[in-house]
Amino acid sequence: MVTLLILILIFLFFPILLFKIFPKAGIESWKVFVPMLNYWEWNKLNEKPIWWFIFLLVPFINIFMVFLMIVETAKAFGKNTLGQQALAVLFPYVYLPMLGIDSKEKYVKQANRPKYKKSAVREWVDAIIFAVVAATIIRTFLLEAYTIPTSSMEKSLLVGDFLFVSKMAYGPKVPNTPIAFPFVHHTMPIFGTKSYVEWPKLPYYRFPGFGKVKLYDAVVFNYPSGDTVVLERQNEDYYQIVRDVEVSYQRQYGERYKPGMGRSWVWSKYNVTARPPDKRENYIKRCMAMPGDTIEIIDKIVYINGKEAYLPENLQYNYLVTATEQGFTQFELQKIMDELGITEGRAISPSRVILPLTSKMAEKLRTNPRIRNVELEIRPKGEHYSPIFPHDPENFAWNEDNFGPLVIPRAGATVEINSKNIALYRKLIKIYDNNTLEEKDGKILINGQVASTYTFKQDYYWLMGDNRDNSADSRFWGFVPNDHVVGKAVFVWLSLDKNKGWFSGKIRWKKCLRTI
């Protein structure tokens, strides 16, 4: 709230920079100190229509309008070159006062200004700058386009769905790295270098939005485990890569093994980099538990606070599909997948295949005379699966089908921490809540102090894909911090099937132009 108040005050009193400029245009200087009157008079100084002033009242659009106002003021003092106007926009706190202080600088009304003819190149440059700035403000604060890259949300959202994500749904975030190449997330195409600089780095702040994350929302967020990335293996979780190598070294060296050997090998073998929250990969999942909720998974069924959770209409699980003695031909299998709209499957043998199916699809397959059995695959309770959070088989023998119970952290809530449960909160305390954490002689030290409890600094969420058995989600990497939430998926405007040609059903017309 303090940050928001400061930003509002900066905006309201920004025209104070025009204290010496107003008199040159015949406007009393004291008006720069009156909120909104100062913008009204500034608009009159620039001789612009009233709708310019109205747009100055619209959050986020007003940022763009202030840039335009600065440019128009520069023009009023004969600063027509691109370089002069760029200096005015980039350094207004110096440039605008200098225009007022310098007695040689004269304000000229629009009707009396000499005509300035722009070159064709300048016209194009102005148009490009206008489009880039406008689009950047829109995608940062209002609405951003997003493409579904994986099948983790099928059948609710398909690979090849193009959708819009509302930043206003939960409130847009101030970018942690404001200086970045436009329209590129974190890596420059062709060159493969960073598309952003980490100076200046802004602290987390979220502007007010239309609401907050709700249970079962389709949420777009920055991938929490993407804080560290192996550049040569960006589609894999860095922490899982390290865990796998540590296990390999432990088997190889036995008693000679020392913790950290695997991590050292990864860092020597690959290029490893860290990314700020806003430059981590964008993921989309469904919110299955809110801050303070208790989540548990029993034989694939999700329970929230002891009650069975809502099952999305298109929820999918992996089924083992067994054919009759003849087995499946490649043609038959592909035909089945096409009829059901399945994009991925895994053959175990000629007669057995793993397919992601909704309950309706499974029932339909059971009526197929060529299929002998359709059986849901469930990993039994107590059978630990190493990639599953919190990666501590001694204290949490969980797997993707039988998990928890686990309480989702809530801002201000306090939890006891000890050697048996620290695996749940280690990354949260150190990375997400930005503390130092040490574990020495059976004691836990947070910020250098021995701690037996910890109070969470922010809300956390539990997000899962609708294609449950083909989704890397909170079951694998844990809690999603509130400061990683990007927005809400609201509308699919186009859907393309990557496996089909343009003249053979590439556009999924029934999936286009639909709300989420």
Query: Which residues contact residue 131 at a Cβ distance below 8 angstroms, ignoring those fewer than 6 apart?
Result: none
In the predicted structure, residue 314 carries a pLDDT above the cut 90: no
Question: What pLDDT is recorded for position 249?
Answer: 95
| C-beta neighbour count of 367 within 10 angstroms | 8
Question: What pLDDT is recorded for position 432?
Answer: 96
Question: What pLDDT is recorded for position 156?
Answer: 87
Query: Under CATH, which architecture does the 317-376 domain have?
Result: 2-Layer Sandwich (3.30)
pLDDT tens for each residue of 110-135:
999 888 888 888 889 889 988 888 88
Contact 264, 220 (CB under 8 A): no
Contact 24, 76 (CB under 8 A): no
Which range is least confidently modeled, 201-210, 380-389, 410-419, 486-495?
201-210
Q: Give the residue-averaged pLDDT of 55-72.
A: 88
437/119: higher pLDDT:
437
Residue 363: enclosing H or E segment and its boundaries? helix 359-366
Assign 347 a pLDDT band (cuts: 50, 70, 90).
confident
Question: What pLDDT is recorded for position 340?
Answer: 84
In the predicted structure, residue 6 carries a pLDDT above the cut 90: no
Looking at residue 210, the DSSP 8-state letter turns out to be S
What proportions of the chain, in percent to the nearest 5, are helix, strand and coil? Answer: 35, 20, 45
Assign 46 a pLDDT band (cuts: 50, 70, 90).
very high
Question: What pLDDT is recorded for position 271?
Answer: 96
Question: What pLDDT is recorded for position 3?
Answer: 66
Assign 472 a pLDDT band (cuts: 50, 70, 90).
very high
> Phi and psi of 390, rounded to 5°?
-95, 25
What span, in angstroms and rounded, lies between the C-alpha atoms of 191 and 253? Answer: 39
- Tokens (6 digits) for 380: 């039994």
Assign 497 a pLDDT band (cuts: 50, 70, 90).
confident
What span, in angstroms and rounded, lies between the C-alpha atoms of 97 and 88? Answer: 10
Q: Give the residue-averaged pLDDT of 28-35.
A: 95
Q: Give the residue-averaged pLDDT of 451-462.
A: 98
Of 480, 501, 515, which Cα lies nearest the Cα of 221? 480
Assign 9 a pLDDT band (cuts: 50, 70, 90).
confident
Q: Where are the domains of the chain?
A: 2-141, 177-199+224-280, 317-376
Q: Angle CA(352)–CA(353)–CA(356) in degrees, nearest 5? A: 150
Q: What is the CA radius of gyration of the chain?
A: 28
Contact 88, 80 (CB under 8 A): no
Assign 334 a pLDDT band (cuts: 50, 70, 90).
confident
Contact 379, 186 (CB under 8 A): no
Question: What pLDDT is recorded for position 444?
Answer: 97
What span, in angstroms and rounded, lies between the C-alpha atoms of 470 and 159? Answer: 13
Which range is least confidently modeled, 11-25, 334-348, 490-504?
334-348
Q: Give the percent of the chain with pLDDT over 70.
A: 99
In the predicted structure, residue 507 carries a pLDDT above the cut 80: yes
What span, in angstroms and rounded, lies between the C-alpha atoms of 395 and 387? Answer: 15
In the predicted structure, residue 73 carries a pLDDT above the cut 70: yes
Question: What pLDDT is recorded for position 328?
Answer: 80
406/141: higher pLDDT:
406
- Tokens (6 digits) for 332: 């038959």
| pLDDT averaged over every residue in the chain | 92
Contact 107, 113 (CB under 8 A): no
Question: What pLDDT is recorded for position 37?
Answer: 95
Q: Give the residue-averaged pLDDT of 309-320.
A: 90
Q: Give the residue-averaged pLDDT of 399-421.
A: 97
Q: Give the residue-averaged pLDDT of 460-486.
A: 96
In the predicted structure, residue 346 carries a pLDDT above the cut 90: no
- Tokens (6 digits) for 444: 């836990």
- Tokens (6 digits) for 127: 């148009």
In the predicted structure, residue 267 carries a pLDDT above the cut 70: yes
Question: What pLDDT is recorded for position 4?
Answer: 66
Assign 342 a pLDDT band (cuts: 50, 70, 90).
confident
Assign 475 a pLDDT band (cuts: 50, 70, 90).
very high
Query: Which residues contact residue 360 at a Cβ distance below 8 angstroms, ignoring those fewer than 6 apart?
Result: none
Burial of 111: CB neighbours in 10 Å, binned 0-12, 13-18, 19+: exposed
HSE-up of residue 37 (Cα within 13 Å, Cβ side): 9
Helix and strand element counts for the chain (H, E): 14, 23
- Tokens (6 digits) for 313: 């209409």
499/215: higher pLDDT:
215
